[in-house]
Amino acid sequence: MKNIMRVTFFICKINNLRLSSSMQCRAKSTKNCSVDSETKNKNEQQHVRPTEDIPGPKGFIPLFGNLFRFTRYILGEYGNADVMTEMRMLHKQYGDIVKLNDLTNHRSLIFLFSPQLCEQMYRLAGNSPIRISLESLYYYRKNRKHIYDGQYGLAVSQDKMWRDFRSRVNPYMMTPQRIKPHVMQISKVTHEFVEKMRTLRDPKTEELPRNFINELHKWSLESICSIALGCRLGCLKPNLAANSEPQIMINCVSDAFDLMHRLDNQPSLWKVYNKRNFKKLSHVLDTINEIAHKYIRHAKEKLGETTNRIDIDCQNQSVLENLLRIDEKTARIMALDMLIGGIDTIGNTAGGFLYYIANNPEKQEKLRKEVMSALPSKTSLVTYDMLNQIPYAKACIKESMRIFPITMFIIRTMREDISLGGYRIPAGFNVAACHALISESAQFPLAHEYIPERWLRDNTEFPLPTKPHPFAHMPFGYGPRTCIGKRFAEMELQILLLTIIRNFRIEWHHGPLEYKNQITNRLTMPLRFKLIDL
């Protein structure tokens, strides 16, 4: 037993030293602040308390620190709780700022539970925010040089590499007008999906099948492929085979999120010992890359056929086709990021807002009045102009994302020593803005009720005593590192909601929403919605 303890301690020490060294090197490489900024920081830090004074659980077992607190069935007070429950417990025990350290494979982490602290953190993160997370994905991409060749995408890149990549793709992703040519595409995909929903219903109960979340993932994959690759995969065909490329890709993305959660969020020594899960992650990511590259090649060939034409409207081309005109490597990596990030997240978010719409029939009828005025008939396609005339539909989606957020928190890694909440936060520390918990706090009166009206500017029908702090709800993050796919995700969700509500009255006759907290929140219950034709 003593030998096992010594070996475990040795491995933990090696891992911590490697993490510490990596953290310090990456943090030092990012310091590009002016002398004035450094002087201001030093002056501020003369009046703040040291990092060690930040409240939080202390390591209580020699060698293992806080690890046992998060270990199931042993001594862990947090071990049997999901992430949201853990955050509630930490906030209740320690307050608005909490430090958690001594978890073998993790850097010290600072949790923020107030919007004021979150705002300060975002603003102190600078113009090139760092987010040293998803290290398993970073290691994978670093070791696949034949694919990434030193460019790792927006999720895991830092500093100049991240800034250069973001500057190249921003004009094709973040400009509001960029979604315009894709609205009709997604509207057609969604109409096909709604027609498929009719056939999926049980003839007696009019309910959708237990695996409807997989159907939502097929719709989200078909949609994101239309945007990113300018092609259709055929995800909505009836009786799609289990070994078809679309279904394999959906399964692989789901497995990838699950494995990254195990490697990055749970206690693990995967870098130095027991690399089985990392090998599994590498396999599923290789499979995604292999399938995606085939369609990327098709898009490249299509672009080659039109290169010499002068009448090509770049505004109406896919993201990939536009980026291929500039840089093939950037185009390929951005397309891969969109596919990985746009299937599971959009599908689960869609399932969440359909649940809240179905459970609030009075809100659904109010929404339907707005939809009926925008869409004259069930077969009407959504247009770009219509998306600017549906404030209540947007409020319905925003309210569901408040109650069922797709992520628990947003992490930034501090570039330099800062002062936050009266404490010194050293460079290299990860700081997490816990918007999921803030979204159920006193910032939102009647926080557990579904009230889309709270997001309407001219809300007189359902007045609330207070308005939330602007940084209380940040589903896509804030600042330069805002989610790159935000505009496309909002557009897809809006079109889906409009089309479904125009065709069906949707009901729910089962239990409360159930989901698991991982890197993203993922629904775990059968989505047996009842659809009644209008």
Q: What does the CA dihedral 425, 430, 431, 437 come to, rounded to 10 degrees? A: -150
Residue whose structure tokens are 């862990």: 76
Copy the structure tokens of residue 213: 């979340």
Residue 141 resides in a domain:
no
For the beta carbon of residue 102, count every other beta carbon within 10 angstroms: 20
Domain carrying residue 247: 171-407+439-533
- Residue 235: strand, helix, or coil: coil
Structural domain count, the chain: 1
Q: How far apart are CA 487 and CA 496, in angstroms?
A: 14
The β-bridge partners of 112 are 97, 433
Helices (H) and strands (E) in the chain, counts: 17, 10
Under a CB-based contact definition with an 8 Å cutoff, are residues 254 and 220 in contact?
no
Residue 193 lies in a domain: yes
322 near 172, Cβ under 8 Å?
A: yes
- pLDDT tens digits, the chain, 534 residues: what are they? 334 334 333 334 434 433 344 444 444 444 444 344 444 555 455 578 999 999 988 765 544 555 556 555 555 555 566 778 888 989 999 999 999 875 545 567 899 999 999 999 999 998 889 987 789 999 999 999 888 888 899 999 998 999 999 999 999 899 888 899 899 999 999 999 999 999 999 999 999 999 999 999 999 999 999 998 888 889 999 989 999 999 999 999 999 999 998 888 776 778 877 789 999 999 999 999 999 888 888 877 877 765 444 445 556 677 888 888 878 888 889 988 998 899 999 999 999 999 999 999 999 999 999 999 999 999 999 999 999 999 999 999 999 999 999 998 999 999 899 999 999 999 989 999 999 999 999 999 999 999 999 999 888 777 787 889 999 999 999 999 999 999 999 999 999 999 999 999 999 999 999 999 888 899 999 999 999 999
Task: With respect to residue 159, please indicate whether it lies within any of the assigned structural domains.
Answer: no
Q: Determine, yes or no, domain membership for 352.
A: yes
Do the domain assignments include residue 524?
A: yes
Tell me how crowded residue 214 is: count the other CB atoms within 10 A of its CB: 16
Q: Please report the pLDDT score of residue 42 as a whole number.
A: 52
Q: How many CB atoms lie within 10 A of CB 382?
A: 26
The answer to whether residue 377 is domain-embedded is yes
Measured CA to CA, the distance from residue 470 to residue 59 in angstroms comes to 36
For residue 237, give the DSSP letter.
S
Give the distance from CA 224 to its chain's centroid: 15
Q: What region does 111 belong to: left with phi over 0, alpha with psi -120 to 50, or beta?
A: beta
CATH number (domain holding residue 258): 1.10.630.10
244 found inside a domain = yes
Closest Cα partner for 268 from 13, 12, 24? 12
CB 394 within 8 A of CB 491: no
Answer whether residue 4 is part of any domain: no
**pLDDT at residue 239 in the model:** 87
